[in-house]
Structure 1
Amino acid sequence: MDKDQIYSESMANIANFNFDAQVADVFTDMIERSVPGYRSIITMIETLTGHYALPGSNLYDLGCSLGAATLSMERGLTAENCQIIAVDNSPAMVERCRKAVARRHTCAGVTVIEGDILATEIADASVVVLNFTLQFVPPEERARLLERICAGMRPGGVLILSEKVVFEDEHLDELLAGIHHDFKRAHGYSDLEISQKRSALENVLVPETIPTHRERLLSAGFTSVDVWFQCFNFMSMLAIK
């Protein structure tokens, strides 16, 4: 696993964050050192897939990056005749995800697609994963995406939505953002790296509050919505149709 050192040197001009080949090469290290609880979420996607996947249905990993959630879904899948469809719009991520899938000889039912999740047809789905993906979708497009996902799911199906969040309470928001920075420092990131990456993400990753996510999911047609995991300003929700 290559170490993330993308923002370790001072930059005169910091470009917007992009899921290019440079990021793809270090993405596993980057996300595990940046997102508290990430590995726990990936592990539980396996368990949740085993619980919710229905025979003959489709499972989707939307914004699959290197395929960590895709492979977790595949490991947890016990229902027969299912297809896992992994989608990402980054050619570099898709290339590496396909290689990761190919290395697992049990992944015959996994298809990795390079494409826009906003244009991906969702049909006959029992499990859909948006694992730190929605935060990169333009806010004005988020409701439409969730409505399409819900419309394409079987009754009783589940959406697993993981996101970085902000809080309405200003003091709490600042406290948890500061603790998150402490987490990154404890995992070897310098203050320069933290600052420069924050600048790169500022106009790309747009977080929202937990109530905003909950209300949007209910409006999209899900009947049961709540947080099942939270660590600082990162959380994962279950939305059941």
Structure 2
Amino acid sequence: MSDASYRDAIFSTPLDRVARFSFDERVVACFPDMIRRSVPGYGQILGMLGLIARRHLRHGARVYDLGCSLGAGGLALAGQLSPDAFRYTGVDLSPAMVARARETLAAECPDHAMEVIEGDIRTLDYAPAGMIVLNFTLQFLPPADREAVIARLFEALEPGGVLVLSEKVRAEDEQENAWLVERYHDFKRANGYSDLEISQKRTALENVLVPDTLAAHHARLAGAGFARSHTWFQFLNFASLVAFKDPAFKDADAPAPREE
């Protein structure tokens, strides 16, 4: 297996016509570098997955990682949980991503129950799951499809199950949103992207990545039946939410809180 990853330079030269963004072989080749330099807080979000699972995942339950890309969510979970603690199913629509993720997880997590399948999360036949991760995936679905997807994930979760939803978001106030977008572009410049790259990628993502507001996400989760949801992380216009299926959500193995 080759673990080579290349620097993201897809939009570094002027293009006569900027094509719609897709997760093709070029993106797979540079994806680790792209995600590191383009998504604020991505590492912190991954690092929390195992901690959330320790508190809320029934021992041995299935974890779905939807839009798993190269399997980083699976690697994060395997790094913090024992092989018998969970069963991992990564799902991605990109054949190139699936092939690379399978190689990576087989090499890095040989003792864990890890599978990666090619599929559309809108039509997938879900098995009961204790935890579902949607890291920057819902934003790539047509807005009209998102409510039905969240409803299906609610039904797939076991009682007490937890959903982690990470997304690029937009602020409801246009002035605040413009400030966040400008600071995000500063973040990308600080990570080595040129103004040309920022502009061309923004064009490629237009009508491909359509962000919602945090309020819209929470309303959609509540409408699907989730008893409670929290925004637990936000860095500029990138955020992560956690939603609980049951009203009395309890830590899986945590002791009762002490009275102070």
Write the distance in 1 (CA, Å) between the matches of 2:55 and 2:110.
Answer: 19
Write the distance in 1 (CA, Å) between the matches of 2:183 and 2:174.
Answer: 14
Write the distance in 2 (CA, Å) between the matches of 1:208 and 1:18.
Answer: 20
**Higher mean displacement: 22-31 or 67-76:** 67-76
CA deviation after TM superposition for structure 1 residue 56, in Å: 3.6
Given the alignment, which residue of 166, 171, 180 partners 2:175? 171
Aligned counterparts, 1:87-98, within 5 A:
87-98=91-102
CA deviation after TM superposition for structure 1 residue 187, in Å: 0.2
CA deviation after TM superposition for structure 1 residue 107, in Å: 4.4
**C-alpha contact (below 8 Å) 2:83/2:112 kept by paired residues:** no
Aligned counterparts, 1:23-42, within 5 A:
23-42=27-46
Deviations 1:58-102 (A, max 9, x none): 110000001111211222334846321100010110011011101
1:53 maps to which residue? 57
Write the distance in 2 (CA, Å) between the matches of 1:107 and 1:127.
Answer: 20
* Identity percentage of aligned residues: 48
Write the distance in 1 (CA, Å) between the matches of 2:44 and 2:109.
Answer: 24
CA deviation after TM superposition for structure 1 residue 106, in Å: 3.7
Aligned AA (1:165): V
CA deviation after TM superposition for structure 1 residue 51, in Å: 1.8
- 2:236 is the alignment partner of 1:195: no
Q: How many residues align?
A: 241
1:65 maps to which residue? 69
5+ residue gaps, structure 2: 246-260
Write the distance in 2 (CA, Å) between the matches of 1:55 and 1:39.
Answer: 25
Write the distance in 2 (CA, Å) between the matches of 1:75 and 1:217.
Answer: 29
- 2:117 is the alignment partner of 1:122: no
Q: Which has the larger radius of gyration?
A: 2
1:76 maps to which residue? 80
CA-based RMSD: 1.3
Aligned counterparts, 1:138-153, within 5 A:
138-153=142-157
Deviations 1:110-161 (A, max 9, x none): 1110111112122221110000000001111111111111111111111000
- 2:18 is the alignment partner of 1:18: no
Given the alignment, which residue of 171, 177, 186 partners 2:190? 186
2:169 partner SS: strand
1:220 maps to which residue? 224
Deviations 1:31-71 (A, max 9, x none): 11011111111111121122222124211000000111121
Over 3 Å counting, the alpha-carbon distance change for 1:18 and 1:107 in structure 2 is: farther
1:14 partner SS: coil
Aligned AA (1:237): L
TM-score (norm 2): 0.90
**Higher mean displacement: 208-217 or 65-74:** 65-74
